[in-house]
Amino acid sequence: MSKPALGRGLGALMAGGRPPTPTAPAPPTPASIPGAPVPSHAAPRRVALDLVVPSPLQPRKDFTPESLRELADSIREQGVVQPLIVRVVGDRFELIAGERRWRAAKLAGLPDVPVLERAATDREVLELALIENLQRENLNPVEEAQGYSQLQAQFGLTQDEVAQKVGRSRVAVTNALRLLKLAPVVQDALRQGRLSAGHAKVLLGLTDPTLQTAAAEQVLKGGLSVRQTEELVTQLQAPPPTGSAGSNRATPSRDPHVVDVENRLRERLATKVALRYKAGRGSLEIRFHSDDELNRILDLVGIQLD
């Protein structure tokens, strides 16, 4: 099954195809001063590598050294086949897309690289960088969440608007943003790939950062699966024993099937959910903290208010 395209995609940037690469290097021209419009159909040209700079809006922060070396070896043989997409900022070319190729070109010792100039606002740069990385599955879960958060904070977008911009569902964006509630140590483990997104979503069931960190350490040390992590979180969520005579007895753990359903509901609704069940009876509690959040939950379960 093919993966659907995200947002506007990079095809719009590339103007439909891979153009031939001119050979003559060229510095920024007077016509490309800041604020001057750059036509989106401009042909690619080669510029000195040291005139190209990374964008502070780039959501991707982690680049694997081994994969960069492999790409650099390929670039030494074939050159940079796909032009970097840039915008002119002062006397430099700021990257919109292609930072990995730029880094590999530096490793390969290239004097210049092919670029395509595009006029783009800060918001468009961040959107396009997110789209490029999401399409290529380059972002780790934390980088993805931070990119969404930056679109919201810096440009005042709602979760719905963020989802539309990057071609994700609102639920996917909401669930990604929840990862930023994890303790910094847990986020680092997720960023480094030592914890999976599945583990991280389960650990979100613990609201105390200290408990999250302690649980993550147990998961990493014991190599726990997601299901085992669910059981661990359930144990940590259990109320402490009282000071009565029976306080030495272990608190009975909850039915793992009930915990699994509760976790799935929590992930689907992107809010705190409490499921109580016994012998075919029970209750379901769904938390919300604003009218907007209530409307979002009602929309998810297919209820439209008049």
What dihedral angle (degrees, nearest 10) is formed by the CA atoms of 115, 118, 121, 122? Answer: -10
What dihedral angle (degrees, nearest 10) is formed by the CA atoms of 104, 109, 114, 116? Answer: 50
d(CA 3, CA 158): 25
Contacts of 255 (CB under 8 A, 6+ apart): 277
d(CA 44, CA 38): 12
DSSP state, residue 25: B
- For 159, counting Cβ atoms within 10 Å of its Cβ (0-12 exposed, 13-18 middle, 19+ buried), the class is buried
Concatenating the DSSP letter of every residue in 218-272 gives: HHHHHT--HHHHHHHHHHHHSPPPPSSGGGGSPPPPPPHHHHHHHHHHHHHHTS-
Structure tokens at 267: 């992930």
User: Annotated catalytic, 143?
Assistant: no
Hey, which bits of the chain come out as E strands? 45-48, 52-53, 84-89, 92-97, 112-117, 273-278, 281-286
What dihedral angle (degrees, nearest 10) is formed by the CA atoms of 121, 125, 127, 131? Answer: 150
- The one catalytic residue in 70, 77, 99, 161 is 99
d(CA 123, CA 174): 20
Contacts of 143 (CB under 8 A, 6+ apart): 59, 60, 61, 62, 133, 191
Residues known to be catalytic: 99
